[in-house]
Amino acid sequence: MKQQKKSCSPDGAGWIYSETIKDHFFHPRNILLDETGYKADGVGTVGSPECGDVMIAWIKVDKKTERIKECKWRTFGCASAIASASMMSVMATEKGGMDLKTAQTLKPQQIVERLGGLPDRKFHCSVLGHEALREAVEDYLNKNGK
Amino acid sequence: MKSKQVYLDNASTTPVDPRVLKAMLPYFKERYGNPSSLHALGRESKNAIETARKNIAKHIGAEPEEIIFTSGGTESDNLAMFGIARAYKEKGKHVIVSGIEHKAILDACKKLEKEGFEITYLDVDKKGLVSLEKLSLSLRRDTILVSIMYANNEIGTIQPIKEIAKIIQEFKTVRHCEESATRQSEKTNRLLRLPHNDRFNNNSLFPIFHTDACQAASALPIKAKELGADALTMSSSKIYGPKGIGCLYLNKKYSSTGSLQAKIEPIIFGGGQERGLRSGTENVAGIVGFSEALSISEKKRVSESKRLIKLRDYFLRRIQKEIDGVLVNGDIKQRLPNNINVSIKGVEGESLLLLLDRYGIYCSTGSACSSLDLSPSYVLLSIGLPLELAHCSVRFTLGRYTKKGDIDYTMKVLVESVKKIRGISSIK
């Protein structure tokens, strides 16, 4: 297997993505390959195929602590969209899980930061991650009458 | 999986043929004279570019003075558009191009619009072909220039250049007759001492027909006069020559003083090289390399095209057989021998490109995510491809060094990559 070692370069010279993005793109975390039988507490779908990005996020919520226990996803999109989704799912579930309020206010900049930056023109690709998460949290809240 | 490098992006650029490099090398260190210098070193360089010019002219079926060396395809296209339109604006301000021209043409058109020219953009059909009927209907008395590419860089569609040239030629003839008739009546008017205002007297010269042959060269016949083109763009970097060099063929009717009062306007000014049409010290090594590259590609053209068609069809058949949801973009028959452009449903192009890249397979995509302006390929949209499928497009362009083993390796990686991306894709 050939791995190219080139540094992140925002001007498009060399590989335009950071090592973290490449890692998450080549090895996406928390993918839900098949949702049949997966009992999600909340689901969020954002984007459109015409725009080139569609993301679905599924979450399971710990009813006692109101924290996200699991966050799964699938994305149609470019490498940065996939890496952003993957990173979002990691952030939502790390350290005992993100509380719902934080999840609702997660900003794309926070995801991009954790990815080690995105080339400027790719920034918009990271927008889906936090939106899908927010939709999923809202879906959970609606379903539970909150 | 065993690692390997497979370059399937030959429409973007080609590697320099070793024989070309060898021919160029002396012109960097030993024969570095400026062709404009009068001393022996300068004369040696001058000789080299004139020998190259003759050779290139021979292959294009032209005369040496009809070749203008430029920095490549973009500059040749720009020179054709601006040079012709600005020089002949007195004759009319209407220009016709196809909607799938290279940006070097389309962006020049935008600038010409700002300068007061009117541009007609001809639609293409689902296969990417220009309609001859629409072209006929678009020609007007004030049309001075028509530019339609020989073969498209993205989808490989080959335009019926000879038929296009024929339509333009017929229009020129009709126009000539009409205007001769007008002149006859003007003669009468003159006899009657009525004013006239006809500085030019050979109206059959318009419209000028330009074609961008950057992608076509090395695959299709490029004898300009046989094609019926008045002007033709060529680039060295697509035919295994160096980057940064190309030429514009321009029929001498439009570049020498001849019967015309004006000649095309240069876009670069300075020392008056290339008969004043393209100033700047000549790229001697580049010109020598370009000439050598063209000789090699012309010698190999017919046999190489046959080999590529076979190899491409093998590749395409396997893609269609081993991957479902594949749509071929562009025409199957009227297509460059080395071009494959497909949309693979649910598989975003940039993701696929980067997965293939990881295994040393290099291709390109019309997906928005790979472009600087974040919109998907205008060529794919022009042939009516829905946005969603344009994002899923991938282009493989084979070349002189592509072997069957490369295709087999690519197929193995491609099938796995498509499976992987579809697995994580939210649309099916």
pLDDT confidence bin for A35, thresholds 50/70/90: confident
**Distances in whole angstroms, Cα of residue A17 to Cα of each of A1, A9, A26, A74:** 19, 7, 12, 21
Determine, for residues A52 and B360 on separate chains, whether the beta-carbon distance falls below 8 Å. Answer: no
Contacts of B166 (CB under 8 A, 6+ apart): B228
**Distances in whole angstroms, Cα of residue B144 to Cα of each of A44, B86, B87:** 56, 10, 10
Cβ-nearest to A82 among B346, B351, B368: B351
ipTM given for this complex = 0.86
Closest by Cα among B253, B256, B279 to B266: B279
A16 touches chain B (CB under 8 A): no
Determine, for residues A45 and B351 on separate chains, whether the beta-carbon distance falls below 8 Å. Answer: no
Cβ–Cβ < 8 Å for B322, B299: no
Q: Which residues of A touch B351 (CB under 8 A)?
A: 25, 77-79, 82
Cβ-nearest to B427 among A3, A31, A54: A54
Determine, for residues A28 and B424 on separate chains, whether the beta-carbon distance falls below 8 Å. Answer: yes
- What is the full per-residue pLDDT of chain B (428 aa) written as tens digits? 556 899 999 999 999 999 999 999 999 999 999 999 999 999 999 999 999 999 999 999 999 999 999 999 999 999 999 999 999 999 999 999 999 999 999 999 999 999 999 999 999 999 999 999 999 999 999 999 999 999 999 999 999 999 999 999 999 988 777 766 666 666 555 554 433 333 343 446 899 999 999 999 999 999 999 999 999 999 999 999 999 999 999 999 887 654 444 589 999 999 999 999 999 999 999 999 999 999 999 999 999 999 999 999 999 999 999 999 999 999 999 999 999 999 999 999 999 999 999 999 999 998 877 666 668 899 999 999 999 999 999 999 999 999 999 999 999 999 999 999 999 988 77
Q: Which residues of A touch B425 (CB under 8 A)?
A: 74-76
Give the strand pairing for B6-7 and A67-76.
unpaired
Sheet order of strands, B118-122 included: B67-70, B246-250, B231-235, B208-212, B143-147, B94-98, B118-122
Can you tell me the distance from the alpha carbon of B14 to that of B251, in angstroms, rounded to the nearest whole number? 28
Can you tell me the distance from the alpha carbon of A17 to that of A122, in angstroms, rounded to the nearest whole number? 10
Measure the CA dihedral B4/B5/B6/B12, to 10°. Answer: 170
Cβ–Cβ < 8 Å for B69, B274: yes
Cβ-nearest to B427 among A28, A76, A121: A76
Nearest CA in chain B to A119: B372
Instruction: Give the pLDDT of residue A146.
Output: 73
Nearest CA in chain A to B360: A2
A36 touches chain B (CB under 8 A): no
Instruction: Give the pLDDT of residue A15.
Output: 54
pLDDT confidence bin for A145, thresholds 50/70/90: confident
Can you tell me the distance from the alpha carbon of B244 to that of B147, in angstroms, rounded to the nearest whole number? 22
From the CA of B256, how many Å to the nearest CA of chain A?
Answer: 43
Q: How many CB atoms lie within 10 A of CB B263?
A: 21
Domains in chain A, ordered, with CATH?
Answer: 29-143 (3.90.1010.10)
A11 touches chain B (CB under 8 A): no
Give the strand pairing for B339-344 and B118-122.
unpaired
Instruction: Give the pLDDT of residue B259.
Output: 45
Contacts of A63 (CB under 8 A, 6+ apart): none
Instruction: Give the pLDDT of residue B103.
Output: 96
Closest by Cα among B164, B158, B117, B94 to B136: B164
Cβ–Cβ < 8 Å for B45, B269: no
Cβ–Cβ < 8 Å for B231, B209: yes
Determine, for residues B426 and A74 on separate chains, whether the beta-carbon distance falls below 8 Å. Answer: yes
Residue B218 gets the label, from left (phi > 0), alpha (psi -120 to 50) or beta, of left
- The ranges assigned to domains in chain B are 6-12+302-421, 18-293
Instruction: Give the pLDDT of residue B371.
Output: 66
- Whether A125 sits among the annotated catalytic residues: the reply is yes
Contacts of B151 (CB under 8 A, 6+ apart): B157, B158, B159, B213, B215, B216, B219, B220, B336
Can you tell me the distance from the alpha carbon of A80 to that of B14, in angstroms, rounded to the nearest whole number? 29
A6 touches chain B (CB under 8 A): no
% of chain A surpassing 90 pLDDT: 60
Determine, for residues B388 and A80 on separate chains, whether the beta-carbon distance falls below 8 Å. Answer: no
Task: Tell me the residues of B at the A interface, defined by beta carbons under 8 Å apart.
Answer: 1, 3-4, 346, 348-351, 354-355, 357-360, 367-370, 372, 374, 376, 386-388, 391, 423-427
**Distances in whole angstroms, Cα of residue B347 to Cα of each of A35, B15, B48:** 19, 29, 50
Closest by Cα among B163, B164, B101, B156 to B335: B156
pLDDT confidence bin for A119, thresholds 50/70/90: confident
Cβ-nearest to A75 among B3, B349, B426: B426
- Whether A78 sits among the annotated catalytic residues: the reply is no
Write down the CATH number for the domain with range B6-12+302-421. 3.90.1150.10
From the CA of B355, how many Å to the nearest CA of chain A?
Answer: 8
Determine, for residues B369 and A56 on separate chains, whether the beta-carbon distance falls below 8 Å. Answer: no
Can you tell me the distance from the alpha carbon of B345 to that of B341, in angstroms, rounded to the nearest whole number? 13
B18-293: CATH architecture: 3-Layer(aba) Sandwich (3.40)
A7 touches chain B (CB under 8 A): no
Q: Which residues of A touch B359 (CB under 8 A)?
A: 1-2
Can you tell me the distance from the alpha carbon of B187 to that of B384, in angstroms, rounded to the nearest whole number? 52
Instruction: Give the position of tokens 């293939």.
Output: B356
Cβ–Cβ < 8 Å for B153, B11: yes
Instruction: Give the pLDDT of residue B193.
Output: 46
% of chain A surpassing 70 pLDDT: 89
Contacts of B127 (CB under 8 A, 6+ apart): B157, B330, B331, B334, B383
Bridge partners for B362 per DSSP: B7
Q: Which residues of B touch A54 (CB under 8 A)?
A: 426-427
User: Which two structure tokens, joined as six digits, stand for A41?
Assistant: 């507490």
Give the strand pairing for B94-98 and B143-147.
parallel
